[in-house]
Chain A
Amino acid sequence: MLAAHLPALQVVIPLMAAPLCAIFRRGYLGWLIAVAANWFAFAAAILLVFRVLEEGTISYAMGGWVPPIGIEYRVDIINVFVLLVVTGVGSVIIPFARAGTAARFNNTDQAWFYTMYLLALTGLLGVTITGDAFNIFVFLEISSLASYVMIAMGRDRRALTAAYQYLIMGTIGATFIVLGVGMLWAMTGTLNLADLAERIPEVSDTRPVLVALAFLTVGISLKLALFPLHLWLPNAYAYAPAVASAFLAGTATKVAIYLFVRIFYTVFGGSGFFSTTPLPEMFLVLSVVAMFAASVVAVFQDDVKRMFAYSSVAQIGFITLGISFVTEAGLTAAMVHLFNHAIMKAGIFLMLGAIMFRLASVQIDDLAGIGRKMPITMAGIVILGLGLLGVPGTSGFISKWWLVLAALENGHWWLVALIVLASLVTMLYVGRVVEVAYFREPSAKVAVMREAPASMLIPAYVLVLATIYFGLETNWSVGLAEQAAAKLMSAVY
């Protein structure tokens, strides 16, 4: 029965599709394969959501080897939510890729690009779905290596250095994670996450476990680009091809956030453990600093892609802020924003990709008057920008709403003020783009431009509509996030 193997197929199909692209070496075919694989993965994720909602947690033994000996894929409400985000964002992005990649690369390179894309997707899905600590590391490396290649394929030569730095930092992060996992294995004798969750409480105050915890914290913080370990991110997002930027911004950091809550909440024994560590305070401070420092940097950026890359760092601050509350409301806020931000930021990077496609630049001064020449694209950026701001009617509002509620529940009045203030800073950089695009005379270069092709606008607008839809109808986003948060707090794996 195929349905029983859905958890495996979720990862295996993109994994098998990747070499197919490489074998055929045809750009169009590669694209078709990538779209098909990604859409299949999305369908699988949706089916898994329904199954999890009906049956509860699904445990799948890879290759029939029963856990804890074999590798277990474990799908519960928490990671199925993340699977949905990753595959959903990917499914929208990948149709967009065709026009841009076809214009820039020859057949072979196009095929390589889709191969790398599918490998990155496989890795992210694997990290999310697996119930095995070492497996996490393996998939993390798969996705990271593939993303380095994708970033290095950017049109700017600075993409190479950006990819190199990401490689160094990503490798350090992965190494730290594997060191942490190794120490946990030494103390407990198991790599299965469920087993770990059972055995760690007995040894949780031994020194190796604490060292493991420190390595895991730093390793994952690097991956999720928590301030001040975000330094690899701005260049990587800014110089990567648009599709890669959108995909990574929408999914890679989100999966790292998932990994963080998975390890600290469920594996280490739920909120009880998390709140005994100094982590909530550390995260609170770092998140707030990220919200402001990165936003202010974004205001002054002249490269619009880099501007929104910094904005990602700030928005990740909003997510980790929710995590730092250690309450159900806080985690709900974090999960909802994880969902909403993935959609909004991926959308913005796609729009910027469309501009890049026509103009070959996203320097802010080059965008003067572009609102008149690419009205549809710019309107999309404005709507998504309003979403980042948290304007009601967009999904960003829902995120902020829950975050403010969570802050109030903890009695953090001053945090509410800070959240609002950080949103106002967001308005400054979004406003800067709007001002340049709409209130300046078009430059000679812009004056001859045309609107982006429909093959780009349609996928990008799916994300715009999603931003509005999830701003009004929250049953899916908030509903699932609430269940995930409840599960995280209960510390039952």
Chain B
Amino acid sequence: MTEFPPGLIIILGAIPVAVLRGPLRAIWMLALPVVAFAMVWMLPDGNHFGIIAFGQELELLRIDPLSRIFAYIFLIAAFLGIVYALHVRAAAEHVSGLVYSGAAVGAVFAGDLISLFVFWELTAIASVFLILASRTHDALAAGMRYLIIQVGSGVLLLAGLIVRWHETGSVAFGDIGLDGPGGVLIFFAFGIKAAFPLLHNWLADSYPKATVTGAVLLSAFTTKLAIYTLARGYAGTEELIWIGAIMAIFPMFYAVIENDLRKVLAYSLNNQLGFMVVAVGVGTDLALNGAAAHAVTHIVYKALLFMSVGAILHRMGTTLASNLGGLYRTMPLTALFGIVGALSIAAAPLFSGFVSKSLILAAVLEGEHKEAFFALMFASAGVLIYCGIRVPYFAFYGPDSGARPKEAPMNMLVAMGLAAALCLAIGVWPAALFSVLPFPLDYKVFNVYAVSHVVTQLQLLFFSALAFVLLHRFGRYPLPKSGINLDTDWFYRRLGSAALRSLMVLGTAIQTRFYDAVNRRGQRILIQLYRHHGPHGVLARTWPTGSMVLWVALLLFAYLFLYFFDIF
């Protein structure tokens, strides 16, 4: 009995949710991740659930340290997400949220590429309803774009696995590597979900349009699942270091000028993924530990941030920074939790982000990837400015908007409280986290709270904070909606930031122009398509019988012609 894929338990458990109501539903939903967690806890490492399908032996429950830690954190995130969403009445959102969580857990335990693919697509399909459930026109459009991209990723995965199966005769999901077309295809499939640079657009496009509660779940699963699969299949792939370094830096520039706080969070999500991707690229035991640990802490604090901003959206109906400000007066707890999340993402000592980021940075240094190290340092400094300070500042402090919303609902506060407690607990007592990391880590040798670590990080944070204060004081920090005005010299001294900035501006300009062109071209194509394929187009109208017969005659002649001249 206990040897049953926990992901499937959650997916199947979602069915009764459609009919249950009231407290019974709440208890049932909360029990699902708890039961699944207990099962994973009790099962030893190994393959526990094989089935035969598609003529292949599929492993649905491969437990090893790497899958175990991701399953734990996914189940914790699912639990938090459920608590946070308890006030939502619509069953559809709960069902899709549960199926989505279950699919993510199922994917983590998939021991072969076929079952991975099945769960991979399921995450895409189930999660799109969390976006669509916003029921706005924007959300619908973004949801459809999201679905196409996500399903596209699944299709790439399918193509890759078929090619790989042809090449190697096995569909086992182990180390894949970039040699061979199959490996490359799968790499891009994972890359889309991990929001690699240039494949990242869906993330900032769709997450901010999801429902309040949906965004919390979305922020936890899809991208971290991709990190898991990358760690499994492409650990130590050199290219990932560069990809990750770029990922860690470039979203910040978009984030800093963004007005919608949820979009800021989406960009910062992308930036934090960069850290994990770099770590996977380094590929040593320490680095993979770092990637896994960062995935854990990141899921918690990012969920916490989305929760606190979501609470604002719930009460205020908007997350545009320019419409917010001064909310700490009436939402003190939300503000407090938001700040805990912000400090965690900024990796302040005693908060969770500090622990996991230290692992990654140490691994990068150890591997002597200097450029990547500086990129990550730069990103660490930046994250405080554009997210760590900015989000709480504009939301809860800043110029008073005059709004006096009520404090967030109880269930939201509980969820946020739990997440904040986790952030602090991991930060203060990292040994527990270290004990479940995929590779053994000697906590005595690797002391995250060594004086040098703490001092470096504090310096970084203080200077960044100082930069924010000065920029803000002299009116150079981009106020919401004030355009690109950031003087990056203050930002961080070591990089030629000015050049980078102008590059970014140029890049943005080119990108806008490119998208405009694509848009215009796209519209023209659509009009053409409609002209021919629309209800009155030549391909769709009801033809006169005579014309049909003409076609028949034409084809007959064509075939006669072909048969006569091709064969003789």
Contacts and interface: CB of A to CB of B under 8 A. Distances in A.
Interface of A: 161, 164-165, 168-169, 172, 176, 205, 207, 210-211, 213-215, 217-218, 221-222, 228-229, 231-232, 234-235, 276-278, 282, 293-294, 296-297, 299-302, 310, 386, 391-393, 398, 401, 404-405, 408, 416, 420, 423-424, 427, 431, 435, 438-439, 472-474
B90 to A, nearest CB: 11
Interface residues of B, number: 47
| Chain B facing A: main interface SS | helix
B549 A210 contact: no
Contacts of A294: 539
A164 B372 CA distance: 72
Contacts of B162: 401, 404-405, 408
27 contacts: A161-B542, A168-B545, A172-B552, A211-B563, A214-B556, A214-B559, A215-B556, A217-B559, A218-B555, A218-B556, A231-B548, A234-B542, A278-B563, A282-B559, A294-B539, A297-B539, A297-B540, A300-B530, A300-B537, A302-B535, A391-B125, A392-B117, A401-B162, A404-B162, A427-B151, A439-B132, A472-B53
Contacts of B177: none
Contacts of B555: 218, 221, 228-229
Which of B152, B155, B166, B537 has its CB near the most chain A CB atoms (within 10 A)?
B155
A215 B556 CA distance: 7
A427 B147 contact: yes
Interface string B71-94: 000000000000000000000100
B38 interface: no
Contact of A408 (B135, B163, B535): B163
Nearest to B543: A231
Contact of A218 (B55, B539, B552): B552
A277 B567 contact: yes
B148 interface: yes
Contact of A299 (B121, B533, B552): B533
Given A214-B556, A214-B563, A439-B132, A232 B548 contact: yes
Interface string B13-30: 000000000000000000
B568 interface: yes
B545 A282 contact: no
A167 to B, nearest CB: 9
Interface of B: 53-55, 92, 117-118, 121, 125, 132, 135, 140, 144, 147-148, 151-152, 155, 158-159, 162-163, 166, 529-530, 533-535, 537, 539-540, 542-543, 545, 548-549, 551-552, 555-556, 559-560, 562-564, 566-568
B542 A300 contact: no
Nearest to B129: A438
B552 A297 contact: no
Given A277-B567, A296-B529, A297-B533, A222 B562 contact: no
Contacts of A310: 540
A473 B566 CA distance: 43
B119 to A, nearest CB: 9
A222 B551 CA distance: 10
A205 B140 contact: no
Nearest to A168: B545
A300 B533 contact: yes
Contacts of B566: 277-278
B318 to A, nearest CB: 22
A294 B564 CA distance: 30
A310 B540 CA distance: 9
Contacts of A211: 560, 563
Given A168-B549, A301-B540, A472-B53, 5 more contacts: A214-B556, A228-B555, A276-B567, A300-B530, A404-B159
Nearest to B554: A228
Contacts of B556: 176, 214-215, 218
Contacts of B152: 424
Given A228-B551, A229-B555, A297-B537, A205 B567 contact: yes
B202 to A, nearest CB: 15
A186 B564 CA distance: 19
A439 to B, nearest CB: 6
Given A228-B551, A439-B140, A300 B563 contact: no
Which of B118, B548, B568 has its CB near the most chain A CB atoms (within 10 A)?
B548
Contacts of A205: 567-568
Contacts of B549: 168-169, 172
Nearest to A217: B559
Q: Nearest 6 CB-CB pairs, A to B?
A: A214-B559, A296-B533, A210-B563, A278-B562, A297-B540, A214-B560
Contacts of A438: 92
A279 B41 CA distance: 60
Nearest to B551: A228
Contacts of B535: 300-302
A384 to B, nearest CB: 15
Contacts of A210: 560, 563-564, 567
A282 B545 CA distance: 24
A228 B540 CA distance: 12
A404 B135 CA distance: 36
A200 to B, nearest CB: 14
A297 to B, nearest CB: 4
B121 A391 contact: yes
A435 to B, nearest CB: 7
B543 to A, nearest CB: 5
Contacts of A405: 162
A288 to B, nearest CB: 15
A302 B530 CA distance: 13
A473 B552 CA distance: 41
A218 B559 contact: yes
Contacts of B564: 207, 210
A157 to B, nearest CB: 13
A229 B553 CA distance: 10
A205 B565 CA distance: 11
B135 to A, nearest CB: 6
A346 to B, nearest CB: 23
Contacts of A386: 125
B135 A439 contact: yes
A102 to B, nearest CB: 31
Contacts of B92: 438
B463 to A, nearest CB: 48
Contacts of B560: 210-211, 214
A427 B154 CA distance: 14
Nearest to A211: B560
Contacts of A301: 535, 540
A278 B562 CA distance: 7
Nearest to A207: B564
A297 B543 CA distance: 14
Contacts of B540: 234, 297, 300-301, 310
A420 B552 contact: no
Given A229-B555, A439-B135, A169 B545 contact: yes
Given A215-B556, A392-B118, A404-B162, A165 B548 contact: yes
Contacts of A435: 140
A377 to B, nearest CB: 16
Contact of A282 (B54, B543, B562): B562
A168 B552 CA distance: 11
Which of B53, B92, B166 has its CB near the most chain A CB atoms (within 10 A)?
B53
B145 to A, nearest CB: 12
Contact of A416 (B159, B533, B568): B159
Contact of A420 (B55, B155, B529, B530): B155
A221 B542 CA distance: 19
A229 B551 contact: yes
Which of B140, B158, B552 has its CB near the most chain A CB atoms (within 10 A)?
B552
Contacts of A420: 155, 159
Contacts of A391: 121, 125
A310 B166 CA distance: 34
A282 to B, nearest CB: 7
B192 to A, nearest CB: 14
Contacts of B55: 474
